[in-house]
């Protein structure tokens, strides 16, 4: 008979940031996040994932890791999607709480701390942001509203911002979710499964800043990919 061994946590919080050609953003974002987590007295590790980048991202990530012992770099040689970068990062986490956020620097590090503190103080299973003010342009706003309208139509999950990150959760919650989506559907998969398992979910209202540098990798075709995945999950009875 196989004996179940409890996981040993080396940190309180593990945060994953998948980076795909984010040479212009990740240095500033990672540094500010490390400073904010440190000043908040949180025992953390930051997992920076080079998600198949072909710019200078890899060098920057490795330089950051050399300067900061709390930073760990995970390399994905071939980009197979946003979700695949997150999945590979989460597999390398050793925190009792784990989560992820984007590398574009549009969420304030202070808001990341707010999400984590709400998660702990209210004993939630999962906590995330809800973007109530957005400065990322009409195109991104249209895509986001389309996602959320379709999502609410298919699934009665209590959120109006399914893709909002950071998403931070208890490690046991993450482990039970068994996340598999390699693409942008990973956020939706997490919310659907969290609802099915009856997890306690919380949200923190935040301002979503304008991207300062680089460009978004979100394309209009993602809407059709999103619809296809929604239908697939609905047909599976989820």
Do the Cβ atoms of 100 and 190 come closer than 8 Å? Answer: no
Note the pLDDT tens digit of each residue in 48-86: 999 999 999 999 999 999 999 999 999 999 999 999 999
Residue 8 has pLDDT above 80, yes or no: no
Residue 78 lies in a domain: yes
Looking at 117-126, 147-156, 185-194, which range is the least confident one? Answer: 147-156
Instruction: Show the domain range for 114.
Output: 11-235
Instruction: Find the CATH number of the domain harbouring 113.
Output: 3.90.550.10
Q: What's the whole-number mean pLDDT along residues 184-194?
A: 95
Residue 176 has pLDDT above 60, yes or no: yes
Residue 3 lies in a domain: no
Q: How many domains does the chain have?
A: 1
Residue 6 lies in a domain: no
End-to-end CA distance of the chain: 32
Write the CB contacts of 41 (distance below 8 Å, at least 6 apart in sequence): none
Residue 4 lies in a domain: no
The residue with tokens 């995945």 is: 229
In the Cβ-directed half-sphere of 170, how many Cα atoms lie within 13 Å? 16
- Would you call the peptide bond into 196 cis, given omega within 30 degrees of 0 as the criterion? no
Residue 151 has pLDDT above 80, yes or no: yes
Write the CB contacts of 1 (distance below 8 Å, at least 6 apart in sequence): none
Write the CB contacts of 98 (distance below 8 Å, at least 6 apart in sequence): 13, 14, 15, 16, 90, 168, 169, 171, 174
Q: Give, in degrees to the nearest 5, the angle at Cα 129 between 106 and 231.
A: 100
Residue 139 lies in a domain: yes
pLDDT on residue 5: 44
* Distance between CA atoms of residues 226 and 147, nearest Å: 7
* Distance between CA atoms of residues 110 and 95, nearest Å: 20
* pLDDT range class, residue 89, cuts 50, 70, 90: very high
Residue 1 lies in a domain: no
* pLDDT range class, residue 212, cuts 50, 70, 90: confident
Residue 171 lies in a domain: yes
């Amino acid at each position: 008979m196989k004996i179940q061994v409890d996981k040993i946590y080396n940190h309180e919080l593990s945060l994953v940031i998948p980076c795909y050609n984010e040479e212009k953003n990740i240095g500033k974002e990672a540094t500010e996040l490390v400073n904010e987590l440190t000043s908040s007295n949180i025992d953390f590790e930051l997992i920076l994932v080079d998600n198949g980048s072909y710019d200078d991202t890899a060098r920057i990530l490795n330089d950051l890791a050399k300067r900061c012992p709390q930073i760990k770099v995970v390399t994905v040689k071939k980009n197979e999607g946003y979700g695949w970068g997150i999945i590979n990062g989460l597999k390398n986490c050793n925190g009792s709480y784990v989560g992820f956020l984007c590398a574009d620097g549009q969420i304030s590090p202070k808001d990341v701390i707010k999400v984590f503190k709400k998660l702990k103080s209210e004993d939630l299973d999962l906590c995330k942001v809800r973007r109530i003010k957005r400065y990322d342009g009409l195109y991104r706003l249209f895509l986001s509203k389309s996602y959320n309208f379709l999502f609410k139509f298919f699934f009665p999950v209590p959120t109006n911002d399914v893709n909002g990150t950071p998403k931070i959760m208890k490690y046991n919650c993450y482990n039970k979710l068994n996340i598999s989506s390699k693409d942008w559907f990973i956020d939706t998969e997490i919310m659907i499964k969290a609802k099915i398992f009856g997890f306690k979910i919380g949200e923190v209202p935040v301002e979503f800043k304008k991207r300062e540098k680089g460009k978004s990798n979100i394309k209009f075709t993602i809407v059709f990919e999103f619809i296809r995945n929604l239908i697939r999950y609905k047909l599976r009875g989820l």
